[in-house]
Chains A and B, each alone.
Chain A
């Protein structure tokens, strides 16, 4: 058994302590044949076709929050990035940077949560890396994950394919993740029942792509929220977007928290939502398919793609006026008066 209660420098040294950590923690929980081979890499065969790869660093604070932790998030976040190409993810790799003195019990909790997320998603973690940095040189633990996947034939999903007339669909309530994180931060004294929406979306995407291989764009509105994602897509596709505030699904607790903190929910992060842009004729089928899936039950059509040389995202407000939905400037900071 691992004797110490905390991570020390020897756990990253390449010596026996590190081997023990890998055996008793990582292999124990992530357990699969490829990992058990004990190589510095994992080798596997693939069928013919196009692949998709994505990598994502996770540095979230706090490490544990309502509805998830850095472990499950590091699995979901990267799987989602890969599957936004329409791909079905096959394998994951994980790199840990751990700060000296980090409690082993917390590390175990994180690794266990990663293992559960990977098992639920049916995407194994097949290779990895562990480094330890001196106390004060990290913030607990950082996790970088990479995922690879295969794109089904005939699928060509890309951020530059939004065309005027296309429908914009969101898969559910916005802002849950960001508000769950904010309320877990110690210096913010408010309590909510809001849970992070952190989830892997590839199974819902598999159904969507099967029904409508012609989907134009998929993207998960993570940092910067829905507003930022729509601006990215408008920029990439050289189009404008017109959305309706009254159609955007949001949990009333999230809108209340945003109201209190002076935040705009359109800019608050999500970790288990996607924005889908498709030909308007395909939208009803996609919408009803998403609404039948547990991760898309609140899906809604929120607007359409329009021609606009300025590439503005505009919104008809609940009041009936209109305004620009701009890129996020800096961090979203609460108003002070």
Chain B
């Protein structure tokens, strides 16, 4: 596959691995957080660990939209399904995320709820057009990458006068989350978690550019390297982070320059700004309430906002007892530190959200890296 295989070459990987081994200082640890689930997935899918020296540690961040969605939001969607005559459309991974009372959208679907798995916002619009007598709710989820298509869908619905289509917005913002991690007590005060540098998101940065990271690279004195999702991107970025740390620099560097610019995709940014505005507060699994970390639909498009169209109660949903997803999402714990990991919680029967998506740290550990936890019981 042209333009992809080049970024997965074993030969180049070995060369890069040698450079990293040569550059890294054996007398120190390099604790590097990959914010995005896409990076976590690449690291495990290609076995990048095996090529790197033991003192380079990947800390998995919260950049997996399904993982950071608090249970309450899914409970709210289930409430809508059970109380209103709606069709709920969403992306696949979300359907399996555990909700309260051992429910999930998939289980509600099996019990008769009209849940449709879609691949794009256009599918949801089509369903709305085909079912004019039904209310169609699109469960919008994702970071800055998936927000522009949702904005387009809302504008399209407005232009078509599609009055049975609304969006349940759960779009969240990356810079706010990174800042929240850096300000968390574990990192700031107690010092139990040491994060020396960040792999910056690739697709998200294609939209927002590399400029938004400049503030906290400076403020928190941590280097950021915007990294592509291919395995060689991750390795090249590892080398760049190691070099910055060795030289005591904390800059924003862009490894993914074939896609990402400093200013990002301004057309997409403008489109999003037309339809969405900042939410004052949004709850993240693991990070708690983070100010100005999510988007809500502007008043001008209020009739396409599920939260205004329907009465949705605030649902306080406790996390599952023993589930360490919150600490794992902050980088404070590893999946194998969780008592449920691989015993009660597996991809077949996920208890926590990090076990659901292939971008979740627990699912990646379990599905791809299980042989590294040799002491865990075999099936």
Contact = CB atoms under 8 A, between A and B. Distances in A.
Interface of A: 187-189, 246, 252, 255-256, 259, 261-262, 309-312, 314, 316-324, 326-327, 329-331, 333-337
Given A259-B4, A312-B371, A330 B47 contact: no
A319 B368 CA distance: 14
Given A324-B368, A337-B37, A319 B51 contact: yes
B10 interface: yes
A324 B119 contact: no
A336 B171 CA distance: 13
Nearest 9 A/B pairs, CB to CB: A321-B47, A333-B92, A329-B347, A321-B50, A336-B91, A310-B378, A323-B368, A319-B46, A326-B367
5 contacts: A319-B48, A320-B50, A321-B49, A335-B41, A337-B64
A319 B4 contact: no
Given A309-B378, A337-B64, A323 B37 contact: no
Interface stretch (B141-149, B155-163, B188-196): B141-149
B224 interface: no
Interface residues of B, number: 60
B93 A336 contact: yes
Nearest to A327: B348
B39 to A, nearest CB: 11
A187 B347 CA distance: 26
Nearest to B365: A324
A337 B68 CA distance: 13
A131 to B, nearest CB: 26
Contact of B369 (A261, A324, A331): A324
Interface of B: 1, 4-5, 8-10, 13-14, 36-38, 41, 44-51, 63-66, 91-96, 117-119, 122-123, 126, 141-143, 145-146, 203, 231-232, 346-348, 357-359, 363, 366-371, 374, 378-379
Nearest to B118: A187
B46 A318 contact: yes
Contact of A337 (B14, B203, B366, B367): B203
A326 B359 contact: no
Contacts of A327: 348
A187 B366 CA distance: 32
Nearest to A336: B91
B327 to A, nearest CB: 22
Nearest to A187: B123
Given A324-B369, A333-B92, A336-B66, 12 more contacts: A187-B118, A189-B122, A310-B370, A319-B10, A319-B51, A320-B51, A321-B46, A321-B49, A326-B370, A329-B363, A330-B347, A334-B92
Interface residue SS majority, chain B: helix
A173 to B, nearest CB: 13
A51 to B, nearest CB: 33
A245 to B, nearest CB: 9
B368 A326 contact: yes
Contacts of A330: 96, 347-348
Contact of A320 (B10, B117, B369): B10
Contact of B65 (A326, A333, A336): A336
Contact of A324 (B13, B36, B142, B370): B370
B51 A321 contact: yes
A336 B94 contact: yes
A13 to B, nearest CB: 31
Nearest to B37: A337
A187 B119 contact: yes
Contact of B45 (A187, A255, A317): A317
Nearest to A333: B92
Nearest to B36: A337
B348 A329 contact: yes
Contacts of A333: 92-93, 95-96, 117
B51 to A, nearest CB: 6
A309 B370 CA distance: 13
Contacts of A319: 8-10, 13, 46-48, 51, 231-232
A17 B5 CA distance: 59
Contacts of B141: 336
A322 B347 contact: no
Contact of A323 (B44, B63, B145): B44
B60 to A, nearest CB: 14
Given A187-B123, A311-B379, A337 B1 contact: no
B8 A318 contact: yes
Contacts of B36: 337
A280 B63 CA distance: 45
Nearest to B141: A336
Given A187-B118, A256-B1, A318-B10, A337 B47 contact: no
Given A335-B357, A337-B65, A326 B366 contact: yes
A321 B10 CA distance: 9
Contacts of A323: 44-47, 368-369
Contact of B367 (A188, A314, A329): A329
B348 A335 contact: no
B121 to A, nearest CB: 12
Contacts of B368: 323-324, 326
A311 B377 CA distance: 11
Nearest to B49: A321
A326 B14 contact: no
B205 to A, nearest CB: 13
A326 B47 contact: no
A337 B38 contact: yes
Q: Which of A252, A256, A310, A337 has the most CB of B within 10 A?
A: A337
A75 B359 CA distance: 39
Contacts of A310: 370-371, 374, 378
Contacts of A188: 119
Contacts of B122: 189
Contacts of A321: 46-51
B347 A326 contact: yes
B47 A335 contact: no
A334 B357 contact: no
A330 B363 CA distance: 13
